[in-house]
């Protein structure tokens, strides 16, 4: 039975803030799984955001829990001079005005981002999303009405053939289990500057530049991370910023004026695609089709 164990009101950094842009409709999240799980719930009142923590066991270090909840909601992320930098391009300036209340967030654990990034390697978004849903459904722990992302020890204990049944091929499964076995080391990445954290996580076999930067942006809140080697992002970014489809080199060049906030540009474009369904002048890139035998890997 979940019970309230603490409440705190936080004033977001960096001016206007909109909780709905940051968390969407899911304003309650599991921030710690396991036998002493914690759930955080966020409620915005004016500019301030109230955080309430719920536990079904010993709550442990509440200061650490509140710090995690603050990061998940991006309440400590400060866009700083990005408003000024956004004026370098009319599309980004307009998106910044529309979505000024958004922030870069941090997942509750580094392992969650690591795991989802590894699963997303080498396959389409739809395939990866389906595998992630199966992983959570089968191995995640229910906490109240929410299912927590599986912890690193739980994933480390999953046999490779069971991961294959979820749609995670042997190459990705090997990397996933390798990271799960080093769960504590992954969490320690938050102690290091982003560049060093990227270098450290890249030492893991199967972690390339795309995965490392995804971890830096989504788990560490690195505002200047760029996902090179992505299947869709270079097309979208170059079309939005230059009007021409390009690859990684063109994307990096187009984002150069926005250093050290390049991840914020990507965030704004992503929000526009989700909430407005498109950006003027940017067509949807046709997604690769999924081979029928890959839709239901457990049947093969």
- % of residues, the chain, pLDDT over 70: 95
Least confident window among 44-48, 235-239, 250-254, 292-296 = 292-296
pTM: 0.92
Look at residue 300 in the predicted model and tell me its pLDDT.
39
Q: What is the pLDDT of residue 289?
A: 60
Whether residue 41 is predicted with pLDDT greater than 70 in this model: the reply is: yes
Domain that residue 182 falls in:
110-220
Tens-digit pLDDT profile for residues 203-218 = 999 999 999 999 999 9
Tell whether the model's pLDDT for residue 296 goes beyond 80.
no
By C-alpha distance, which of 182, 180, 186 is closest to 163? Answer: 180
Check residue 60 and give its pLDDT. 85
61 and 151 within one domain? no
CATH number at residue 164: 1.10.340.30
| pLDDT for the residue numbered 274 | 87
Report the pLDDT averaged over residues 280-286.
Answer: 73
Q: How confident is the model at residue 281 (pLDDT cuts 50, 70, 90)?
A: confident
Domain endpoint, select from 195, 220, 245? 220
**pLDDT value at position 280?**
72
User: Is 30 inside a domain boundary?
Assistant: yes
CB 152 within 8 A of CB 183: yes
Q: Which of 53, 72, 91 is the last residue of a domain?
A: 72
Note the pLDDT of residue 34: 75
* Domain stops at, among 72, 97, 132: 72
142 and 58 co-located in one domain = no
| Number of structural domains the chain divides into | 2
* Same structural domain, 192 and 118: yes
206 and 121 part of one domain: yes
pLDDT tens readout for residues 68-81? 999 999 999 999 99
Asked if the structure places residue 262 within a domain, the reply is no
Residue 286 lies in a domain: no
Please report the pLDDT score of residue 276 as a whole number.
Answer: 79
Q: Cα(203)–Cα(10) distance, rounded to whole angstroms?
A: 37
Task: Confirm whether 45 is domain-assigned.
Answer: yes
Is residue 260 reached through a cis peptide bond, with omega within 30 degrees of 0 on the bond before it?
A: yes
Comparing 143 with 36, the larger pLDDT belongs to: 143
Q: What's the mean pLDDT in 253-274?
A: 96
Residue 219 pLDDT exceeds 60? yes
At 155-171, the pLDDT tens digits run 999 999 999 999 999 99
pLDDT category, 299, cuts 50, 70, 90?
very low
Greater pLDDT, 300 or 52: 52
Q: Are residues 143 and 64 in the same domain?
A: no
> Taking 60 as the threshold, does the pLDDT of residue 292 lie above it?
no
Q: Is residue 203 part of a domain?
A: yes
**What average pLDDT does the structure give for the chain?**
92
Instruction: Give tens-digit pLDDT for 102-151.
Output: 999 999 999 999 999 999 998 988 999 999 999 999 999 988 889 999 99
Domain identity same for 129 and 211: yes
């Amino acid at each position: 039975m979940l019970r309230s164990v603490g409440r705190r009101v936080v004033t977001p950094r960096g001016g206007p803030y909109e909780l709905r842009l940051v968390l969407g409709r899911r304003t309650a999240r599991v921030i710690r799984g396991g036998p002493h799980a914690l759930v955080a719930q966020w409620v915005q009142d004016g500019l301030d955001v109230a955080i309430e923590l719920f536990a079904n066991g010993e709550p442990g270090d509440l200061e650490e829990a509140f710090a995690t909840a603050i990061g998940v909601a991006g309440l400590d992320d400060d866009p700083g001079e990005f408003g000024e930098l956004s004026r370098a391009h009319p599309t980004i300036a307009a998106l910044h005005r529309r979505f000024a209340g958004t922030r870069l967030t941090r997942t509750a654990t580094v392992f969650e981002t690591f795991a989802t990034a590894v699963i997303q390697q080498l396959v389409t978004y739809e395939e990866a999303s389906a595998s992630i849903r199966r992983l959570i459904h089968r191995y995640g722990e229910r906490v109240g009405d929410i299912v927590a992302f599986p912890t690193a020890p739980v994933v480390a204990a999953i046999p490779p053939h069971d991961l294959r049944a979820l749609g995670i091929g042997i190459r990705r499964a090997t990397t996933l289990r390798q990271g799960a076995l080093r769960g504590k080391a992954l969490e320690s990445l938050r102690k290091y500057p982003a560049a060093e954290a990227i270098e450290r996580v890249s030492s893991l076999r199967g972690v390339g530049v795309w995965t490392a930067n995804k971890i830096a942006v989504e788990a560490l809140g690195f505002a200047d991370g760029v996902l090179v080697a992505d299947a869709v992002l270079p097309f979208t970014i170059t079309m939005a910023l230059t009007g021409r489809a390009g690859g990684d080199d063109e994307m990096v060049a187009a984002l150069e004026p926005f250093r050290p906030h390049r991840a914020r540009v990507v965030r704004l474009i992503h929000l526009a695609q989700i909430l407005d369904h498109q950006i003027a002048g940017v067509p949807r890139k046709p997604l690769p089709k999924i081979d029928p035998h890959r839709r239901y890997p457990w049947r093969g």
